[in-house]
Structure 1
Amino acid sequence: MSDPSPQTPDRPASPKAHQPSAAPPVVDREDFERALAQQVVLDKEVTRAGDRAAAARRRLPMVEVPDYEFAGEEGPVHLSELFGDRYLLLVQNVMFGPDWDEGCPSCTWAVDNLPTQGGRLGEEGIAFAMISQAPIEKLRAWRLHRGWPHTWVSSAGTTYHDDWGWTLRGEDGGYSGPIPGYSYYLLREGRVFLTYATTARGTEAILPIAQIMDRTVYGRQQDWEDSPEGWPQHPTYG
């Protein structure tokens, strides 16, 4: 039986739907150009710092990873098979615990940020897949609900999440459960190697909507941001 048509998820009204009353001071064109030039200097510093980090990233060593057998929608899938006919693989480790009925809202938002033209990654020799701990039946249901075309496999029954730190085992009342992030792999002579991984705010580099919001006058409108007095700010995970 073929998959049903993807559903359009219900979206609650955004707290950012209405224009805030606060706004920057109005200046003439000359003053604006002067202020913008100063900002460009800061932006270039960020770009150059990013270039240095990328150069260091290309010089990292790599470590071999077991060829885990995951559960896919059509049956067992080895990690090496997620590459398809490519030699690079980006894995999004999506927070979806075994007993959850829905994916993490933040991870879901991150998947929604992925390029609509996924084939562009393939042109660069990069495959993409998602891995979570929930049973494959739950992952398939959530994928269809969101309308995602991406390959998503379940690590249930494997030690993948524990082996590579994608699940925390809280001590003294600390958080226990999966964490989000990305793993970057290289397939070489039939063997899989981990070349880079990032979590927490390191994931933001490939979230275009976050980067766009950062460049708007109000930023992300989240409560951790350093914004002018009166700027709208909402709970980050509200």
Structure 2
Amino acid sequence: MARCIETPAQPIDQPARPKAQQPAAAPPVVGRDDFEEALAAQVTLEKEVTRANDRASAARRRLPMVEVPDYEFTGEDGPVRLSELFAGRYLLLVQNVMYGTDWDEGCPSCTSAVDNLPANMGRLDEEEISFAMISEAPIDKLRAWREKQGWPHTWVSSAGTGYHGDWGWTLTSEDGSYSGPVPGYSYFLLREGTVYLTYATYARGTEAILPVPHIMDRTVYGRQQAWEDSPAGWPQYPTYG
């Protein structure tokens, strides 16, 4: 399963709240009519994005599926089969959280992604969607990190299985600068006792279910990340800052 490799986020030397001070730069001030005209043009552009997303979603619903082995993971209470993660439902969303076998902590970016999950996960239950996380690290490390973050989610270890290697969730970059887990989401269907993979996404595809980045996108300064196309003078920081 080919994909881009994203290395784990690393802390950088900068203030704890670099965005706390309001930037000096700001948009030009115009009259109400000019603003409404500019906003209408933006809405037209965003409708194009919505329609394109609808087409992508329609294509996604027409993807084929592939059978997946019923891996036996390690849960906090012992062995857990992949099929058991469905918890009596027929749809399963798995977050492949970056936490290498020899890491002392989980990836900061993946940790932030988990924090972005709905406060009421019961809304997924109502849609027959179960949620679980899978990582390579030993279960004791996962348990400790989960408790530190205050997460209630099911988290299992794939250590000793071929899951990560079989489905491309552990990769080595072409230049050899990174070798280890990569982040992403897997969507499964349980049908007549067999598990199937119906969709997977990684890299920036993971943003689709993260509300905070989308909220930031709609503020005047955006995400304030170095890769963004922003006006001159707009604040920008390293992506993994």
Take 1:89 and 1:173, find their aligned partners in 2: how far apart are those partners? 33
Larger relative contact order, structure 1 or 2 (CA cutoff 8 Å, min sep 6): 2
Counterpart in the other structure of 2:69: 66
1:174-197 superposed Cα distances (whole Å, 9 cap, x missing partner): 421100000000000000000000
Map of 1:141-220 to 2, 5 A cutoff? Answer: 141-220=144-223
Q: 1:173: how far off?
A: 2.1
What is the SS of the residue equivalent to 1:195? strand
- Equivalent position to 1:118, from 114, 118, 121: 121
What is the letter of the counterpart of residue 192 of structure 1?
V
Quick one: which amino acid aligns to residue 136 of structure 2? Q
Shift of residue 85, structure 1, vs aligned partner: 1.3
- What do you get for the CA RMSD once the two structures are aligned? 0.9
Cα distance in structure 2, aligned partners of 1:174 and 1:190: 41
TM-score (norm 2): 0.93
Residue 32 (str. 1) matches residue 35 (str. 2):
yes
Taking the aligned partners of 2:27 and 2:199, their CA distance within structure 1 comes to: 40
2:107 corresponding residue in structure 1:
104
**Helix, strand or coil: the match of 1:131?**
strand
Letter in structure 2 aligned against 1:155: S
1:134 alignment partner, SS class:
coil
Task: Tell me how far 1:26 sits from its aligned partner.
Answer: 0.6
For residues 128 and 171 of structure 1, what CA distance do their matches in structure 2 show?
Answer: 32
Q: Which amino acid aligns with 1:118?
A: M
Whole-Å separation in 2 of the counterparts to 1:169 and 1:223 = 25
Could you list the structure 1 runs, at least 4 aligned residues long, displaced by more than 6 angstroms after superposition. Answer: none
Structure 1, unmatched stretches of 5+, are 1-11
TM-score under structure 1 length normalisation: 0.94
* Aligned equivalents of 2:72, 2:37: Cα separation in 1: 58
Taking only the aligned residue pairs, the percentage that are identical comes to 80
